[in-house]
């Protein structure tokens, strides 16, 4: 049961990364992206995976010192709860034409890898020159898919996440907790 009122911080058992640590990591990742795409003749398209990546995406693009275009895609992998469905569906497409473009797909977390693998092949199918993945969190313990990036695609990963269900900084449980400025582990009694 998600808390009805009161303080959402009370539902967090441990803070894993504070707002300041997140900000420092995002700056580091943005600077790496700036360096890696500085020579490219065409400005990259940065595609955020809604809704979870919205906060990371907003902070990241402000720190990328390159001309970029920005779009979102939506993939549904959880009906609700905390277990990935394994067969993500693309429920909202990109609006921009990504053919012949370098795409940087921005994710909140890569867990089983099914969502990102599906999106990468989808964007490659649209004729992108390369598809890179930029995820704030990587949870390798539960990986089911060995991600293959074609072309010059790169994999940027912020923090390695323990095998716990985390919320905050865009990440939700039943659409709640996205507005926490930090990332923390949700008390198991909230979702059990
Ligand atoms: P995957 O397809 O890699 O299993 O799952 C990716 C999606 O699952 C992420 O975009 C995210 O929405 C969700 N997800 C995976 N692990 C967590 C977690 O610990 N917390 C939250 N809030 N979402 C997660």
* DSSP SS3 for 26: helix
Residue 109 lies in a domain: yes
What would the mean pLDDT of 28-47 be, rounded to a whole number?
A: 93
* 57 burial via Cβ count (<10 Å: 0-12, 13-18, 19+): buried
* Residue in the structure block whose two tokens are 């992206």: 33
State the average pLDDT for the chain. Answer: 91
Residue 147 lies in a domain: yes
**One of 11, 59, 108, 111 is an active-site residue; which one?**
111
Residue 125 lies in a domain: yes
Higher per-residue confidence, 79 vs 6: 6
Residue 192 lies in a domain: no
Q: Is 111 a catalytic residue?
A: yes
Residue 10 lies in a domain: no
Please give all residues whose beta carbon lies within 6 A of any atom in ligand 1, as ranges. Answer: 49, 52, 77-78, 84, 88, 107-116, 139, 165-167, 171-173
Show the tokens assigned to 92. 């909202």
Which segments within 57-192 are labelled E, that is strand? Answer: 69-76, 89-92, 102-110, 130-138, 155-160, 166-167, 183-186
Of 24-28, 39-43, 48-52, 143-147, least confident by mean pLDDT is 39-43
pLDDT band, very low/low/confident/very high, at 191 (cuts 50, 70, 90):
confident
> Would the CA dihedral through 62, 109, 81, 182 be positive or negative?
negative
Residue 132 lies in a domain: yes
Find the CATH number of the domain harbouring 36.
3.40.50.2020
Number of structural domains (the chain) is: 1
- For residue 137, how far is its CA from the centre of ligand 1 (angstroms)? 9
* Residue in the structure block whose two tokens are 């955020």: 48
Mutate to test the pocket of ligand 1, among 8, 52, 139, 167 (most ligand atoms within 8 A of CB): 52
Q: Using the atom order of ligand 1, give the atom closest to the CA of residue 52.
A: 12
Which pLDDT belongs to residue 151?
Answer: 74
| Boundaries of domain holding 66 | 20-77+85-164
- For residue 192, how far is its CA from the centre of ligand 1 (angstroms)? 17
What is the tens place of the pLDDT at every residue in 53-105? 999 999 999 999 999 999 999 998 755 566 666 678 888 899 999 999 999 99
Q: What is the spatial distance between Cα 176 and Cα 6, in angstroms, rounded to a whole number?
A: 13
Residue 93 lies in a domain: yes
Which pLDDT belongs to residue 88?
Answer: 84
CB distance 132 to 154 below 8 Å:
yes
pTM for this prediction: 0.93
- For residue 41, how far is its CA from the centre of ligand 1 (angstroms)? 34
Provide, for the chain, the percentages of residues in helix, strand and coil under a 3-state DSSP scheme, each rounded to the nearest 5. 25, 30, 45
């Amino acid at each position: 049961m998600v808390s009805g009122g009161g303080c959402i911080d009370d539902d967090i058992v441990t803070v894993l990364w504070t707002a300041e640590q997140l900000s420092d990591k995002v700056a580091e990742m943005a600077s790496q992206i700036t360096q890696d795409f500085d020579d490219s003749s065409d400005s990259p398209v940065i595609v955020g995976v809604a809704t979870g990546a919205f906060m990371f995406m907003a902070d990241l693009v402000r720190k990328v010192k390159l001309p970029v275009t920005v779009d979102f895609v939506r993939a549904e992998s959880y009906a609700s709860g905390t277990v990935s469905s394994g067969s993500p569906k693309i429920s909202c497409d990109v609006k921009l034409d990504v053919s012949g473009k370098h795409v940087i797909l921005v994710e909140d977390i890569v867990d089983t890898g099914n969502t990102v693998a599906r999106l990468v092949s989808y964007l490659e199918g649209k004729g992108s020159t390369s598809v890179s993945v930029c995820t704030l969190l990587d949870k390798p313990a539960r990986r089911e898919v060995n991600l293959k990036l074609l072309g010059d695609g790169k994999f940027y990963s912020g923090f390695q996440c323990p095998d716990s269900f985390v919320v905050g900084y865009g990440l939700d449980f039943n659409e709640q907790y996205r507005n926490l400025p930090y990332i923390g582990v949700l008390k198991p009694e909230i979702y059990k």
